[in-house]
């Protein structure tokens, strides 16, 4: 295992220390927790927005803490859900009096622990609502989930729900727009190589030099098919078509596109994939409103990518365009 770390068991703590040192004027670490919050949290009268999950997906989720997006992110150990008490501390840290909204990726541990934390907060008089993101069309159930997994589409939920909360939306209004995003966002990914959890010290799975896996999850969960490596155009076409088959988009529909790298895929390759995605959508008469290419929801140093499409309406376009000062998503 080759990694630029100190103690394999302290990577999350060391990462959070460095993150706060990089953005001291915009974020803070809640004392004695693994919670990264806005420097000005809690914001009085504003719905607080909390997300999180296992670390190893950077810049998700702490990179999305800031004006216009999340108020706090709870960072679990690598690929491990944060504990209910840590999530509870995040809820308390961002409660500005108008309730707190939780964005949860559909992994069994995350759902269970975030919901337990919500019950703890509600017992203290804090109003809490939530949405569960399940944008991955690859598989219905996996080793980590019941139902579809939550992957890169979660970033669009952060952005749009965050913009609604920043604009003064009520807890119910934030929930409604988050549910709209979840209903209209779909993703699918693939991997060329595995990743290594620092504490484990060895790859989480094996792919031969000439192999790739379609539908791979962001924790290394099995996909739908392992086969010989294809060209970028063939990969883009397969991922995009699987998403389109599930979304039932029609000519004239407008979308946001995200081509997301999983940790060690050069931007050169992501742009090549995006070129084909753009071509395929244009051929079908689907209009591209905005495109995002880069690393938004990674899997340590896994090589691979995912394609996400979000069907837009006027409300979602306005919120997508709204200002964000989060370190990993400035607009």
What residues are labeled active site? 57, 219
CA dihedral 75, 110, 197, 63 (to 10 degrees): -40
Question: What DSSP letter does each residue of 131-176 carry, written as one string?
Answer: EEE--B-S-S-BTTBSSSPP-TTHHHHHHHHHHHHHTT--HHHHHH
How far apart are the C-alpha atoms of 258 and 256, rounded to whole Å? 7
Number of CB atoms found within 10 A of residue 36's CB: 29
72 Cα distance to chain centroid: 14
Number of CB atoms found within 10 A of residue 73's CB: 31
Residue with tokens 């302290």: 10
Strands 254-261 and 325-326: unpaired
- Across the beta sheet with 225-228, what order do the strands follow? 225-228, 211-214, 185-193, 303-311, 254-261, 287-294
- Asked if 35 contacts 90 with a C-beta cutoff of 8 angstroms, the reply is yes
Which residues is 51 bridged to in the sheet? Answer: 73
- Asked if 170 contacts 47 with a C-beta cutoff of 8 angstroms, the reply is yes
DSSP state of 10: G
How far apart are the C-alpha atoms of 67 and 40, rounded to whole Å? 9
Query: If DSSP codes are grouped into helix, strand and coil, which group holds residue 212?
Result: strand
Query: If DSSP codes are grouped into helix, strand and coil, which group holds residue 191?
Result: strand
Which residues is 78 bridged to in the sheet? Answer: 55
């Amino acid at each position: 295992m080759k990694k630029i770390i100190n103690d394999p068991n302290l990577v999350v703590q060391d990462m959070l220390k460095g993150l706060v040192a990089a953005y001291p004027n915009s974020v803070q670490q809640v004392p004695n927790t693994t919670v990264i919050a806005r420097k000005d949290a809690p914001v009085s009268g504003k719905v607080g927005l909390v997300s999180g999950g296992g670390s190893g997906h950077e810049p998700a989720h702490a990179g999305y803490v800031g004006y216009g997006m999340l108020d706090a992110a709870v960072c679990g150990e690598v690929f491990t859900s944060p504990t209910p008490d840590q999530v509870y501390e995040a809820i308390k840290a961002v409660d500005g009096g108008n309730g707190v909204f939780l964005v949860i990726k559909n992994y069994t541990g995350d759902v269970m622990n975030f919901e337990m934390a919500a019950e703890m907060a509600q017992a203290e008089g804090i109003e809490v609502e939530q949405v569960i993101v399940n944008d991955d069309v690859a598989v219905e159930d996996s080793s980590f989930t019941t139902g579809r997994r939550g992957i890169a589409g979660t970033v669009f939920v952060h952005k749009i729900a965050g913009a609604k909360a920043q604009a003064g939306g009520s807890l119910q209004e934030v929930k409604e727009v988050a549910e709209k995003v979840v209903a209209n966002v779909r993703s699918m990914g693939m991997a060329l190589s595995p990743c290594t959890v620092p504490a484990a010290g060895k790859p989480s799975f094996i792919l031969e030099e000439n192999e790739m896996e379609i539908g791979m999850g962001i924790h290394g969960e099995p996909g739908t098919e392992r086969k010989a490596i294809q060209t970028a155009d063939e990969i883009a076409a397969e991922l995009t078509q699987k998403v389109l088959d599930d979304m039932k988009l029609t000519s004239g529909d407008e979308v946001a596109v995200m081509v997301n790298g999983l940790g060690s895929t050069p931007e050169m390759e992501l742009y090549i994939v995006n070129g084909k995605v753009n071509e395929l959508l244009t051929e079908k008469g689907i209009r591209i409103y905005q495109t995002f290419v880069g690393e938004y929801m990674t899997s340590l140093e896994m090589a691979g990518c995912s394609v996400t499409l979000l069907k837009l309406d006027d409300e979602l376009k306005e919120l997508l365009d709204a200002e964000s000062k989060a370190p990993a998503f400035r607009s």
